[in-house]
Structure 1
Amino acid sequence: MLYIFDLGNVIVDIDFNRVFGAWSDFSRVPLATLKQKFVMGEAFHQHERGEISDEAFAEALCHEMELSLSYEQFSHGWQAIFVGLRPEVIAIMRQLREQGHRVVVLSNTNRLHTTFWPDEYPEVRGAADNIYLSQEMGMRKPEARIYQRVLEAEGFSAADTVFFDDNVDNIEGAHRLGITSILVTGKETIPQYFAK
């Protein structure tokens, strides 16, 4: 079997409030205002596909949110999203590989984040056979082609694949291709799935 794991809130806990908190401290703009103005719009999607630079993304987002930050301040806040590893998921990934299954990570991410998490959480690379990142592939979930690319690269059919993600759209995108797709709603989702 092929097991595909998303990264954020599946293997590593993330919290956007930490990003807004850091930006609020730097800019003195209230946290609630920043949360209201933040949208995962076109610049966000382009950044995840690797179509625009980190600097262009920072500029676009600061413009959209009417936020005055230096690139360093923006980056510092953007990295603050990571909370910590879910060791129980890492243990399951390792166990699956020991049982002869193929285990990969498929993440909508961006260069700014990949300068941070691989060094911060080396366990992720250690527990996966391969890591597929949206900005390197030029496509993002829930686009059908990203799942198809992973299946082709790994040599598995949709019927022999299980996918874990915390985003409903991503789950539906994979499900439409015939991939068994599990919505991760909390830390207990994955351990409970394998306990069955």
Structure 2
Amino acid sequence: MLYIFDMGNVIIDIDFKRVLGVWSNFSGTPLATLTERFSMGEVFQKHERGEISDEEFAAELCHELGIALSFEQFSLGWQSVFVGLRPEVIEIFKTLRQQGHRVVVLSNTNRLHLDFWPQNYPEIEANTDAIYLSQNIGMRKPEPGIFQHVLAHEGVSAGEAVFFDDVTENIEAARAVGIESVWVEDNQTVPKYFS
């Protein structure tokens, strides 16, 4: 079988409030104001598809939020999204691979995060067979093409794959392509599935 795992809140705990908190401190703008203004809109999606640079993304997002940050301040905030690795999931990866299954990551991500998580969480790359990232592929979940891209690269049919993600929209999209999909509600979902 091919097991496909999302990254955020599946393998690594993430918390977007932490990002806005750092930006709030740097800009002097109340957290409540930033929370109200922030949305994962077109700029966010373009960045995850690799259509705009990190610097353009930072500038456009700061403009949307009405704050002035240096690129360094923006980046420090952006990386604070990561809370910590879920070690029990890494153990499951090890077991699955020992059993002869393939384990891959499929993540909507961006170059800024690529400069961060491989260094801070090397266990992910060490215990997976492949990592598929939206910014490298030019597509992002829930676009059907990104799931088809992974299946084609892995040489398997949709019926031979299981997908884990914390976003219901992505789960529905994968199911529409024919992939068995598991909505990860909390840090117990993946261990329970394999118990």
Identify the residue that residue 44 of structure 2 maps to in structure 1.
44
What SS class does the counterpart of residue 176 from structure 1 fall into?
helix
Identify the residue that residue 72 of structure 1 maps to in structure 2.
72
Q: How many angstroms apart in 2 are the aligned matches of 1:160 and 1:53? A: 36
Identify the residue that residue 99 of structure 2 maps to in structure 1.
99
Identify the residue that residue 55 of structure 2 maps to in structure 1.
55
Q: How many angstroms apart in 2 are the aligned matches of 1:9 and 1:157? A: 26
Identify the residue that residue 129 of structure 2 maps to in structure 1.
129
Alpha-carbon distance, 1:29 to partner: 0.5
**Deviation per residue, 1:26-53 (Å, 9 max, x gap):** 0111111111100111110000000000
Report the AA paired with residue 148 of structure 1.
Q
Q: What TM-score do you get using the length of structure 2 for normalisation?
A: 0.99
Q: How many angstroms apart in 2 are the aligned matches of 1:94 and 1:180? A: 21
Identify the residue that residue 183 of structure 2 maps to in structure 1.
183
Alpha-carbon distance, 1:127 to partner: 1.0
What SS class does the counterpart of residue 172 from structure 1 fall into?
helix
Q: Identity of paired residues, percent?
A: 64
Identify the residue that residue 82 of structure 2 maps to in structure 1.
82
Q: How many angstroms apart in 2 are the aligned matches of 1:87 and 1:142? A: 26
Alpha-carbon distance, 1:75 to partner: 0.6
Alpha-carbon distance, 1:146 to partner: 0.3
Identify the residue that residue 22 of structure 2 maps to in structure 1.
22
Identify the residue that residue 139 of structure 1 maps to in structure 2.
139
Q: How many angstroms apart in 1 are the aligned matches of 2:161 and 2:76? A: 36
Q: Which runs of 5+ in 2 are unaligned?
A: none
Whether 2:194 is the aligned partner of 1:194: answer yes
Alpha-carbon distance, 1:68 to partner: 1.1
> What is the CA RMSD across the aligned residues, in angstroms?
0.5
Identify the residue that residue 167 of structure 2 maps to in structure 1.
167
What SS class does the counterpart of residue 8 from structure 1 fall into?
coil
Identify the residue that residue 115 of structure 1 maps to in structure 2.
115
What SS class does the counterpart of residue 177 from structure 2 fall into?
coil
Report the AA paired with residue 181 of structure 1.
S
Q: How many angstroms apart in 2 are the aligned matches of 1:86 and 1:34? A: 28
Q: How many angstroms apart in 1 are the aligned matches of 2:89 and 2:33? A: 35
Q: Which runs of 5+ in 1 are unaligned?
A: none
Report the AA paired with residue 142 of structure 1.
P
Moved runs in structure 1, 4+ residues, more than 6 A?
none
Alpha-carbon distance, 1:82 to partner: 0.4
What SS class does the counterpart of residue 100 from structure 1 fall into?
coil
Q: How many angstroms apart in 1 are the aligned matches of 2:21 and 2:119? A: 23
What SS class does the counterpart of residue 106 from structure 1 fall into?
strand
Q: How many angstroms apart in 2 are the aligned matches of 1:48 and 1:164? A: 19
Q: What TM-score do you get using the length of structure 1 for normalisation?
A: 0.99
Identify the residue that residue 35 of structure 1 maps to in structure 2.
35
Q: How many angstroms apart in 1 are the aligned matches of 2:146 and 2:178? A: 14
Number of residue pairs the alignment of both structures matches: 195
